[in-house]
Structure formats: C-alpha cells, structure tokens
Amino acid sequence: MKRQTYSPRSGVYYHIFVPFFRDGNGDGVGDLRGIIQTLDYFNDGKGGGLGVKGLWLSPVHPSPSYHKYDITDFYAIDPAFGTMEDFETLVAEANKRGIGIVLDLIFNCSSHLHPWFLKAQEDASSPEAGYYYLDGSEDARYLDRDAVWNELPAWHFPEKGRGYIGIYSEVMPDFNFNSPALREECLKIARFWLKKGVSGFRLDSAMHLFSTAEVEEGVSHHAKNVAWWREFRTECRRLRPDVFLVGEVWDTPAVRALYYGGLDSSFHFYLGDGIAAFLEGKEDAAQFAKRMENSCLAASLIDPAYTDSPFLSNHDMLRYAEEHPDKDKLKQAAAIYLTMEGTPFIYYGEELGMHAAKEDTCPYFPAYDYLGRARTAFDWGEEEGMCGARFQKGYLSPSLKEQKQDRGSLYRFYERLIRLRNADRALTHGRFSPLPCPDPRVLSYALEYGAARTEVYHNAGSSPFPLPLGGDAVDLMTGEHIPTAQSRRALPPGHSAIVCYG
C-alpha cells in the first residue's frame, strides 16, 4: 500500500500543564489569563515567538485535584483557572496568532464526586447508574471481581453504596461505554467545546475506555475502543472537518496503529527512550531507523493519512532532561524529534531543559505525588507570573529570561529549529524513510512531500561525517550553511544537519 505524502496536521504543538505554567492573577496558581498574557511567547502571528501552531491544555474542568483528571463538570471551567469568558478569550486570541487550542478530554472516568456518580449510587434505576460499572449491574456481569490493573485492584467497595470499577483510582470511577446514553453524553461534550472554537482534543487513556478488566473473556477491548473512537471522530468531523484528535495510546507501535482506525494521531511513546539510547551509544542508528520505519508502516496499513505525534516526555513521565542532562545531547535530542514526520509536541519547559523537582512546597501540589516531580513551575526568571514554589536560580534549569539573553541556550536552539521546520515543506508535511548509512553512530533519514525532499543527519559519533554534496546543507546546531571545501562537506561530531532539495 502506498503511503500518502500529505499529513492533515502540521506544525509544532506545546503541552501546557495549566496550574504550573503562568499565574495571571497573583494567587500562585497557573490559569487561563496567564496563558493569554503569554501567547506571543508561542507565536505572535508576525513571525516572532517559538513558532508554535497549537497548544494542548491539561484538563481545565472543575475537579477536586490539582491535576484535574477527576472531573466533576465536563461543561465548565475550574474557578482556579478562570471563567468561561477567559477560555473564549484564549481561543479567540490564540486563533488570531494562528494557534489552535487542543483540549484534554477525559472520557475514561469521572470524579467520585461528580453528580452523575452520586446519582448512580443513590438510585439504581436512574439513567446515571448505567454510566458506570456498578456491582450487580447487567454490564458488570462478566467482570472479574479480583481483576488487577497496573498493580491496583480494579474493583472498589465503599462502606456505603455499591461497588464499582475504577482502574486508576477509587476516586475515579470508570465510565461504562456500553451505555448509549453515556456515549451520547460524550458526543454532546465534544459538540459543546467544538462550538467554543477548540481545534481538537487530546484524548486521555484512549485505549482504556474499555479496559481488559471491562470486557468479557474472548472479546478484544481494543476493537471496542476503536469502534467508539470511529463514532466519535465522525461526529467531530461533522462539526469541524479539520478537527485534530490525538490519543494517548501508551503501547507498542502495532497497538498504536490499531487506533488510527478511529483517531487522527497518537503520541509516539518510547521515542524519547529510543533517542536517548542512540545518543548514548546503547543502540545503533540502523536499529533506531528500522523501528521508526516499522512504526510508520504499521500506522499506514490502518490509515494512509495517519499523523504521528513525536515527543520526548510528558506529564506522566520523569522529565527527559532529568534522566539525560547533557546540554549538547539535549539539543541533539530536540533536533531528532523535531525533524521527525508528523506533529511534534513539546512538554512545557522542555525548551529550557527543565529538570524534575526534588520537592515542591506549593500547597496546591501534594509532595507525595511522584508524577508531580515533572509538573513543576515554569521558570520565567522573574516573580511576575511564577506559579507555586519559587525555586533558587538554576534549580530546575536556567530561566527563560537568562536563556533569551544567551544565543547558545537550549531555548534559542528550539526557537531556531522550529522556525526552520515551519519554513521547510518536507519537514512539515513529509513522510519518513531511512537512508542507508555505514556509520552506526550517524542517524540519517529523508522526508518527502511532493517535489520537496529534505535529508536529515545526526552525528552522535566522535569523527566528522561526510555529507552529500548536492542540495542546501544547514547545521542545525549553529543555524549556518555548511560550506563545501575541496569537494567535501563535513558534519562535526555532536551536530545535526538538514540537506534540502527542491
């Protein structure tokens, strides 16, 4: 099957964990006003800023937790983050700058304090009771009472009320997607936010709406999930044909590929690990390139118009720079994932090389939450706008203010690389194909889009690498063209380059 050379989604996206990004009202908590104030940081619409084309916001709905993944109202904005008017202003101002807003949707579960769940526990005959897997209900008849998911019990039995499934936590009861009424409610939620102007949705736990603990023996939970996402995508496209649906499918390339039957894109989990293994000499370039090629081919067999979403780390992982702190290798890691096909996602602060925190005294954040180590305050380099705990200079990374003044900083590298990517049709829209290379420490591949072709080379070795003489070569580390001398053009060790044709 021939893979299409057009990706329906282009540009670089930025993942904001809202409560720790930018405080717009001085209460110590990041909010929508803070994001509005900093839209020019991403893209001012005039060629300035990072050049970002989209923002993925962590959940903004009312919730008792700091992370907001246990929602009590899917149609509202958490007061800690602002108002619905603030959200509408954010969408409008972002769109003026060519920035789309992708909203985090959590359909796997609700909060145990959601009115639907409270009603379900109160009245077994209510429609809301069908929204959950409650002990004794028809849809729970096949389910294993002793099921364990991710080392946690799937079933929970409160002192009062009926037992229920919550694969993530006892405070996050799972939705029952066998319920037509619940599915229609989820479509209604999507319609509501699409009419507010969002460009798409990041779909949390996309492969666990039906988990292995929630289907009868012999039934594929993947097939049931994909069938739902196909239904969901059809409705979203009816309202917005260019909607962008990117799913969290934390699994192998083969499983990720299955979900292209219902989603536009999925995050490329384990890519960051592969990049680190290559840069640190634990895997050779050919192995890395082959795994990337196989991932692309698997996706194309399901949907030739698929969009990959490469990234280094996210809010559910230890920050990439915490495990791989070498500044030069951070630049080269960025050079790799930002020159891959698809729609790359930057986790907030990754462009600063932010490390995970050892502790956080912010009262909005429980210190015992190990995931919270990666969810720390963005360092603006000034008191205004800072969220939560104030860190000593350089504790997590040099601040944005410092890095803006340093032409050799990681931030300046991201800024230059994204602009270069945006200006290159093959990098923006092209498909990946590996290039043969005899040096195991040089990763090389091409991206093609129509007549445009860009070759990419990453030299992780200790010797200069001879680049091809054709095309226009640019050293990504310096931003300068690589000259040809005595019929030779060399890429220094630790450097990456692109060679553009057409």
SS3 255: helix
Number of Cβ atoms within 10 Å of the Cβ of 308: 26
216 is catalytic: no
170-220 pLDDT, tens per residue? Answer: 999 999 999 999 999 999 999 999 999 999 999 999 999 998 888 888 889
- Predicted confidence at residue 370, as pLDDT, reads 65
246 within 8 A of 200, measured Cβ to Cβ:
yes
The pair of three-digit structure tokens given for residue 292, joined into one six-digit string? 């990337």
Identify the bridge partners of residue 432 per DSSP, sorted by sequence position: 447
How far is the C-alpha of 127 from the C-alpha of 169, rounded, in Å?
Answer: 23
- Predicted confidence at residue 369, as pLDDT, reads 65
Taking the mean position of all CA atoms in its chain, how far away is CA 14?
Answer: 8
385-444 pLDDT, tens per residue? Answer: 988 754 555 567 889 999 999 999 999 999 999 999 999 999 999 999 999 999 999 999
- CA distances (Å), origin 474, targets 453, 481, 483, 499: 14, 4, 9, 7
Instruction: Using DSSP bridges, classify how beta strands 442-449 and 431-434 pair: parallel, antiparallel or unpaired.
Output: antiparallel
The single-letter DSSP state of residue 174 is B
Q: Which residue's entry shows tokens 């500044």?
A: 327
Sheet holding 200-203, edge to edge: 307-309, 265-267, 244-247, 200-203, 100-105, 54-57, 13-16, 345-347
Task: Catalytic residue, from 23, 31, 174, 248: name it.
Answer: 248
How far is the C-alpha of 173 from the C-alpha of 175, rounded, in Å?
Answer: 7
Identify the bridge partners of residue 200 per DSSP, sorted by sequence position: 102, 244
Instruction: Using DSSP bridges, classify how beta strands 13-16 and 54-57 pair: parallel, antiparallel or unpaired.
Output: parallel
Could you tell me which of 96, 89, 131, 97 has the C-alpha nearest to residue 112?
131
Per-residue pLDDT of the chain (502 residues; tens, 9 = 90+): 344 443 446 799 999 999 999 999 999 899 999 999 999 999 998 889 999 999 999 999 999 998 999 999 999 999 999 999 999 999 999 999 999 999 999 999 999 999 999 999 999 999 999 999 999 998 988 788 888 887 888 999 999 889 999 999 999 999 999 999 999 999 999 999 999 999 999 999 999 999 888 888 888 999 999 999 999 999 999 999 999 999 999 999 999 999 999 999 999 999 999 999 999 999 999 999 999 999 999 999 999 999 999 999 999 998 999 999 999 999 999 999 999 999 999 999 999 999 887 655 444 455 556 677 788 889 999 888 988 754 555 567 889 999 999 999 999 999 999 999 999 999 999 999 999 999 999 999 999 999 999 999 999 999 999 999 889 999 999 999 998 876 789 999 999 999 999 7
How far is the C-alpha of 372 from the C-alpha of 60, rounded, in Å?
Answer: 17
Could you tell me which of 142, 152, 266 has the C-alpha nearest to residue 210?
142
- Predicted confidence at residue 8, as pLDDT, reads 45
How far is the C-alpha of 72 from the C-alpha of 172, rounded, in Å?
Answer: 10
248 is catalytic: yes
- Predicted confidence at residue 121, as pLDDT, reads 95
Rounded-to-10 torsion of CA 272, 392, 371, 70: -120
How far is the C-alpha of 298 from the C-alpha of 271, rounded, in Å?
Answer: 15
Number of Cβ atoms within 10 Å of the Cβ of 5: 15
Terminal-residue alpha carbon distance, the chain: 25
- Predicted confidence at residue 416, as pLDDT, reads 96
How far is the C-alpha of 116 from the C-alpha of 121, rounded, in Å?
Answer: 9
How far is the C-alpha of 487 from the C-alpha of 489, rounded, in Å?
Answer: 7
Number of Cβ atoms within 10 Å of the Cβ of 197: 16
Q: Using alpha carbons only, what angle is made at residue 467 by residues 462 and 469, rounded to the nearest 5 degrees?
A: 160
Task: Catalytic residue, from 23, 78, 204, 455: name it.
Answer: 204
How far is the C-alpha of 388 from the C-alpha of 306, rounded, in Å?
Answer: 39
- Predicted confidence at residue 2, as pLDDT, reads 44
- CA distances (Å), origin 423, targets 208, 287, 290: 38, 30, 27
Identify the bridge partners of residue 465 per DSSP, sorted by sequence position: 491
